[in-house]
Structure formats: C-alpha cells, structure tokens
Amino acid sequence: MTRTAEIVAIGSELLTPERTDTNSLWLTAKLNEAGVEVMLKTVVGDDEARLEETIRDALKRSDIVITTGGLGPTEDDITRQVSARAVGRELIYHDELEARLRERFRCWGHEMPEINKRQAFIIDGAEILPNPNGSAVGMMLGLGGSLLVVLPGPPRENQPMYDNFVAAKVRQLAGEVIVKRRVLRVSGLGESAVDEVIAPVYRQYESVQTSILFNKSEIEVHLTARADSAAAADAVLDELAKQIAEVLGMAVFAMNGETLEEVVGTILLENEKTLAVAESCTGGLIGMRLTDVAGSSAYFLEGAITYSNEAKMRALNVPEQTLIDHGAVSSQTAEAMAAGVRKRSGADYGISVTGIAGPDGGTGEKPVGTVFIGYADAAETRSVKFTLPGDRYMVRWRSSQAALDYLRRRMLKDASIKQ
C-alpha cells in the first residue's frame, strides 16, 4: 500500500503575490524517492482557525503530515501552539532547550530576547529535532498510524533536519518500495489524440501511473512505476515506453524528457551535421532555443533574423519578385529563406520561419497564426504551412516548435542520418 503525505506551508508572506512555497518541491522529491505520494499541499497564513483545521484534516486523510514555517519567536509564529491544539496535546516547556538557546545567543554575542523562550515549548510526547542552523527546533510525533513532522521554514534549516531525523522514519513507514519516473515528449498531436492512441497500451500496466500533460506546444507522457527493485521498475518503464513509442511513431521525440532543441542537437552532433536558421516572425526564438543547449556551437553556425523585406533580400538572397508575387508570408519565401541561409552559411541544413504572429497583420486569406516553415538540405528544398492558434506569444512559441519538429522529421528521413 502506497503511503500518502500532505505538506502544509505556514506564513502570511507565502500568501502574497510575490512569494510562493518552494520547500514543498524539495520535500516532495524526498518523499517520492521513499515511495510516498504527496496528495495535497496547503499554504496557510497566521490564521489560527484555518491552520488548526488544515492540520487536523490532513492527519485524518494522510499517513504523513509535514509542516514548514511559523516556528519563530514572534507572535505571528503560531505553528507550535496550533499544531499542539490540532492533535489535542499540551505544549510542554523544556528547561534544557531554553538553556541551549541562551547558550546559542551568547555565542553570537547577544543576550537571548525573552520572546525566544517560546521556542522552548514542545508538543507533549514529540521527539525534538535539533537545528544546528537556527533557533527553532523541529518536532516529530507518531499518532497511531500517522506521523506529524513540524519543521522550520528556512530551507537550510529544514533540509538537514529532514535528512538527519525524518528520512529514516519515513522510510520505515513506507517500507521497501522503489519508485522510478520517465517522461516521453510528443509533438504534432493534441492531448486527447495522444490519450486515445495510448490509453489501450498504458491501461495494461497497472503498476505504472500514466499521466498526460500539455506543456505549451507539446504533450508530455509521465510514467511512474513502483516496484520492489530498481531493475524491476526500469524494466516495466522500458517496456511501456517502447510500446507507447511504437503506437505514436515519429510523434514521440524524447524518451527521457529531453527538450526538442536537445533532440535536434543530438541528431546533428552525432551525424556531424551543421545548421543555420532564418527567422522572421519568431525574431530569434529558434536561435535562442538551439543555443540554449551547452555545446551547440558544434553544429549551430548562424542565424539571420530578417524582419524586413529588405533584410530578406540582402541577407538571404530572397528574390524581390518572390516577395512581390507571393508576399513575405508564403511557402515560396519560406523556401527561399531556408535555401538562402543554408547557402550563405555553408551549413548542411537550413530552416526558416515566416508568418503572422499578430495581434495585427492578419488578412482574410492569411489570418493571424498563418506560418510557413521552410527546410533545405543538399538534395531538396521544401516547406509546410501551419495555422497556429493563440496570442502573439503562443504563435511564436508554436512556430519555433513546428520548425524544430519539421527539421527533426526531415532529418530522420535523410539517408545520410543514422537512426
């Protein structure tokens, strides 16, 4: 049986527009590694009633409840008394904690302010979790089958505390479960289309949790396997991932969470091929994505951001007549751009984008979102047209995705490329 956890982040500052709880990400990774699933996260401020209800409800629903924050010495720091109330226990004053606090302050060359005395109160029966990096100790309390863990807010205080005192207890509760994850990435298909195609496959694997996520312009298939050993978890993931890749075919571009620019880069690198890019409406986004990959200078030669017609003619040798006859947003211009940048740079492959990102510039014949992708290699020059939904940001992002994916698909058809 999978153990479940909830994480409660405490502090009014975490309810402002500027801050968010990030402790829970680190804790989630630790809990997941131990085979524990995080079912719910809460952020609550200095509101005693809401905090008490949150902790009480969480303990009813989940095996492990971890709180972070609210253990400081001020009146706003209500975690100590409220968590005691939520579990129906007294706070007990600990002389030796106060003595240790006074000693800490003396070492820093200060007298301990009287308000810090609050930090010497501990829930009756709780284990005290020492804090070498701050004045607030943590608490851990077993309650029947469940576990309440109360940690301070700062990561450099709560992370060593978890590693040193909580991790072993969590492992003991969770037992010997191994959890492994894998992410496949898919382009050119929608969320529901992917689900329709792969559901018959993943439904046969009950030990793997499959979820399908939409991420800007691509679909992610997340697989999470639980098994008794790492080898068994990997084996079932390998098998399911392979079957999913088979039914989806070329649409799967990454078997291990790689980005599209990484995948394109790897194909180029392994085949010692080079690339140049000509961008109009994406304005540098494709170059930016390609060069985001460390080591991309091995295959990315250059990019031309040709926003004006004049730049398209001068920098890429797009014939003026092509622009007059077909317009800047046309398959003919896209092809001339791809061939032009390839020739100019001496690269093996040239790709190009020209389109209408909006919000203005659309026409009846070529509405906002009309995008042409051009491709050129030694043997041929081609193009493809898309009509992409969304605002300016999304049209540009999806154009960059379409261009990189078109390049990937064309390269995989090129006889000189190893599969």
Q: Least distance to a second copy from the beta carbon of 41, Å?
A: 4
Which is nearer to a second copy, 126 or 188 (by Cβ)? 188
Structure tokens at 383: 């193009």
Strands 138-143 and 127-129 turn out to be: antiparallel
| Cβ atoms of 300 and 414 closer than 8 Å | no
Interface map 330-369 toward a second copy (x if CB under 8 A): --------------xxx-----------xxx---------
User: Applying CB under 8 A, what is the total number of residues that bind a second copy?
Assistant: 101
Of 361, 360, 351, which is closest to residue 275 (Cα–Cα)?
A: 351
Q: Least distance to a second copy from the beta carbon of 246, Å?
A: 21
| Burial class of residue 295 in the structure, from the number of CB atoms within 10 Å of its CB (0-12 exposed, 13-18 middle, 19+ buried) | exposed
Interface map 56-95 toward a second copy (x if CB under 8 A): -x---x----------xxx-x-------------------
Interface map 113-152 toward a second copy (x if CB under 8 A): x-xx----------------x-------------------
Structure tokens at 245: 């890749």
- Cα 222 from Cα 208, distance rounded (Å): 10
**Judged by CB under 8 A, does residue 301 bind a second copy?**
yes
Among the residue ranges 16-24, 85-93, 262-270, 331-339, the one whose residues contact a second copy (CB under 8 A) = 16-24
Among the residue ranges 87-95, 235-243, 305-313, 332-340, the one whose residues contact a second copy (CB under 8 A) = 305-313
- Cα 136 from Cα 152, distance rounded (Å): 6
SS3 of residue 39 by DSSP: strand
**Judged by CB under 8 A, does residue 387 bind a second copy?**
yes
Residue 391: HSE in the Cβ half-sphere, 13 Å Cα cutoff: 1
Per CB under 8 A, the list member of 296, 330, 333, 354 interacting with a second copy is 296
Per CB under 8 A, the list member of 64, 277, 318, 337 interacting with a second copy is 277
SS3 of residue 361 by DSSP: coil
Among the residue ranges 30-38, 92-100, 138-146, 244-252, the one whose residues contact a second copy (CB under 8 A) = 30-38
Q: Least distance to a second copy from the beta carbon of 143, Å?
A: 19
**Judged by CB under 8 A, does residue 243 bind a second copy?**
no
**Residues of span 165-204 touching a second copy by CB under 8 A:** 190-193, 195-196
Which is nearer to a second copy, 23 or 383 (by Cβ)? 23
Which is nearer to a second copy, 18 or 365 (by Cβ)? 18
**Judged by CB under 8 A, does residue 222 bind a second copy?**
yes
Of 84, 85, 34, 97, which is closest to residue 64 (Cα–Cα)?
A: 34
Of 415, 406, 289, which is closest to residue 352 (Cα–Cα)?
A: 406
Q: Which residues lie closer than 8 Å to 140 by C-beta, 6 or more apart?
A: 126, 127, 129, 147, 148, 149, 150, 165, 166, 169
Which is nearer to a second copy, 89 or 178 (by Cβ)? 178
Q: Least distance to a second copy from the beta carbon of 154, Å?
A: 8
**Judged by CB under 8 A, does residue 313 bind a second copy?**
no
**Judged by CB under 8 A, does residue 212 bind a second copy?**
yes
Q: Cα 5 from chain centroid?
A: 21
- Cα 172 from Cα 185, distance rounded (Å): 35
- Cα 51 from Cα 38, distance rounded (Å): 19
